Amino acid sequence: MDDSQLLRYSRHILLDEIGIEGQQKLLAARVLVVGAGGLGSPAALYLAASGVGHLTIVDDDAVDLTNLQRQIAHTTARVGQPKALSAQEAIAAVNPDVQVTALIERAGEARLAELVAAADVVLDCTDNFQTRHAINRACVAARVPLVSGAVIRFDGQVSVFDPRTGTLPCYSCLFPQDQAFEDVACSTMGVFAPLVGVVGAMQAAEALKIVMGIGETLAGRLLMLDGLRMEWTSIGVARDASCPACSR
């Protein structure tokens, strides 16, 4: 690190658990963020501010006026711009040293496999079960940790699915991919703006811990937030021995 980086990341370096070694791990890290909306916005900004060296952001949507209530990476001036490019611009303003690959696409199975295999950790910031399961399958196959978050109305949840040991549950163990789930959209149900910031920031925190190898992650636990009561609930998640995604 040069003098400018030592100064920029000094508050991390002061932490015994991180130090220069941990910060250098962040600078060398490659993180994939799928979705640049309510969750992806704060997650990507905190990852960039923290010094993650390379961010790949995947989103095929464009910034809409209705997004601005909660998607803090975007601005009124960038309405109509692809979200991936808008997020890239926001990240450059926060930390121009971060390399950003902005992909304006809806990644399918083969593409996700390619992108996940090149990442150290993946953040699922999407809003539909089909994509979440596709990301999970790619992470299981490539043995890459997955940080998953979701928010609707006043409820949020976050967890980590880490396939590296072969003993921890995957996303499909918690939400079976052959089970029917109804996707609930913010456009019809609404969402309390600050909650996506809370959950997105927690996704970034879990990803940073994974990259640096510090602390204890949410692997094997699902953390749920009731935003109206501001109460957290933590439940254990067991690995499903018959899970079609990770049991092989």
Long-range contacts of 238-242 (CB under 8 A, 24+ apart): 238/169, 238/173, 239/167, 239/168, 239/169, 239/170, 239/173, 240/169, 240/172, 240/173, 240/176
CB neighbour class for 113 (10 Å; exposed up to 12, middle 13-18, buried from 19): middle
Phi, psi values for residue 66, rounded to 5°: -70, -15
Active site residues: 186
Residues in the chain: 248
